[in-house]
């Protein structure tokens, strides 16, 4: 199914922020919510639209990504991150994490600052890629590559690459502890630090996930209640939201995706149900065609002329008509199944299961209909 256009996602176009919101004074920000799964609920096209819109507002210098996401696909998260890079010289990005798990941490690591609300968590980034039927785990080689890429992204924004890599790859360990006033982070367990002093202790075979308190303690994030709090955390006076345009746009995009998903599910259900209904119709019609074949019936004929009796002529015609009707049902069923198979390919689902070569079955039905009609009015055998 084709991706929605922004004419569909945001029409009618919301008005630009009022002059009072974009006037001089204060530090203006816009909030882009990443709510739900990346690629399903938060789509790259909607993020791109929001970033492009914000770039056209001269006084907006900060973007707050409010993240409440269980994950999604790596492909979508990477695309969102790539879009953020396109505007990196234009904005400072801030992550406000309510939940950022799996693929969602790509967005968080691409931000200049990370803030976490009470009770939030971040990490456990099991890599998933899109496939034809849903999400599929990546293989070990790809997972290692993705983890390395995530670590590089984190390092570029002055976030700990050690923690980032441990969030994405089970084989990577991560330990954090305080050494005086400084926090130390290492891939190896410190031999001279007792376990009780470790803020983070993530061994092999477990993906790292940080609570808000752990993240704050190791300097990974700052505490925050909401986007309005970020100004004081960042030391920016006059911090205020320019408008709710981007939030509205993301909500509209999510609504469009939900409608598309519902329509797709309905289409899949119809496809499966129609396939299940059509296959037995073809089977029974083939049986009916064989049973109605006029040449297999018995007929009476006149001894002196060898011609069929009147009753036999009528029986021949009735048998012929029944056989023609059966073959026409076969023909219609073959067409229907071909249509359903094409639709199944478009939907990315399994085709109806049968053993027929449908074009050949359709052609055979046509030949049988032509033969039967040509012989319908015969008077002798």
Mean pLDDT of 72-99: 94
- Report pLDDT for 124: 86
Q: Tell me phi and psi for residue 113, to 5 degrees.
A: -135, 150
C-alpha distances out from residue 118 to 121, 199, 213, 226, Å: 9, 18, 8, 10
- Report pLDDT for 169: 87
- Report pLDDT for 42: 92
Question: Tokens 């079955």, residue?
Answer: 361
- Report pLDDT for 127: 59
CB 198 within 8 A of CB 192: no
pLDDT digits (tens, 9 = 90+) for 175-194: 999 988 899 999 999 999 99
| DSSP summary character for residue 366 | H
pLDDT digits (tens, 9 = 90+) for 98-135: 999 988 999 999 999 999 999 999 998 775 544 433 44
Mean pLDDT of 74-86: 93
Domains, the chain = 17-242 (3.90.226.10), 266-374 (1.20.58)
Which tokens hold the place of 18? Answer: 């009022």
How much is the mean pLDDT over the chain? 88
Q: How many CB atoms lie within 10 A of CB 217?
A: 17
Q: Are strands 209-211 and 121-123 parallel, antiparallel or unpaired?
A: antiparallel
Q: E-strand spans in 70-208?
A: 92-101, 113-116, 121-123, 128-131, 134-137, 174-179, 182-186, 198-202
* Closest by CA position to 69, among listed 33, 19, 104: 104
pLDDT digits (tens, 9 = 90+) for 134-143: 444 556 677 7
pLDDT digits (tens, 9 = 90+) for 331-362: 999 999 999 999 999 999 999 999 999 999 99
CB 63 within 8 A of CB 51: yes
Which tokens hold the place of 113? Answer: 């600052």
Mean pLDDT of 73-91: 93
Give dist(CA 91, CA 85) in Å, integer.
10
Q: What percent of the chain has pLDDT over 90?
A: 74
CB 238 within 8 A of CB 24: no
C-alpha distances out from residue 188 to 29, 194, 373, Å: 40, 13, 85
Give dist(CA 67, CA 83) in Å, integer.
16
Q: What percent of the chain has pLDDT over 70?
A: 90
């Amino acid at each position: 199914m084709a991706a929605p256009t922004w004419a569909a996602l945001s029409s009618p176009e919301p008005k630009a922020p009022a002059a009072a919101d974009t006037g001089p004074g204060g530090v203006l920000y816009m909030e882009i919510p990443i709510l739900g799964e990346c690629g399903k609920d938060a789509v790259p096209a909607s993020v791109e639209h929001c970033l492009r819109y914000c770039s056209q507002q001269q006084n907006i210098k900060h973007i707050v990504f409010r993240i409440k996401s269980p994950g999604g696909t790596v492909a979508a998260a990477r695309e969102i991150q790539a879009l953020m890079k396109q505007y990196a010289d234009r904005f400072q990005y801030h992550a406000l994490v309510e939940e950022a798990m799996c693929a969602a941490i790509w967005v968080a690591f691409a931000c200049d600052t990370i803030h976490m609300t009470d009770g939030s968590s971040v990490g456990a980034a099991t890599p998933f890629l899109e496939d034809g039927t849903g999400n599929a785990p990546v293989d070990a080689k790809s997972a290692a590559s993705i983890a390395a890429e995530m670590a590089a992204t984190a390092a570029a924004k002055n976030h700990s690459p050690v923690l980032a890599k441990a969030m994405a790859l089970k084989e990577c360990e991560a330990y954090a502890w305080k050494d005086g006033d400084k926090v130390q982070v290492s891939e190896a367990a410190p031999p001279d630090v007792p376990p009780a002093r470790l803020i983070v202790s993530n061994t092999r075979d477990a993906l790292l996930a940080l609570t808000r308190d752990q993240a704050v303690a190791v300097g990974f994030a700052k505490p925050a209640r909401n986007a309005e709090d970020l100004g004081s955390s960042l030391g920016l006076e006059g911090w205020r939201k320019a408008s709710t345009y981007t939030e509205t746009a993301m909500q509209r995009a999510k609504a469009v995706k939900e409608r598309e998903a519902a329509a797709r599910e309905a289409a899949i259900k119809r496809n499966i149900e129609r396939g299940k209904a059509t296959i037995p119709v073809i089977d029974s019609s083939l049986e009916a065609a064989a049973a109605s074949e006029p040449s297999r019936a018995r007929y009476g004929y006149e001894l002196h002329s060898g011609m069929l009796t009147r009753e036999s002529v009528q029986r021949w015609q009735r048998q012929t008509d029944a056989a023609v009707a059966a073959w026409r049902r076969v023909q219609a069923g073959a067409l229907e199944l071909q249509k359903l198979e094409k639709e199944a390919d478009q939907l990315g689902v399994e085709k109806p299961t049968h053993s027929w070569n449908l074009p050949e079955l359709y052609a055979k039905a046509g030949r049988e209909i032509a033969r039967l009609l040509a012989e319908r009015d015969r008077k002798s055998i």
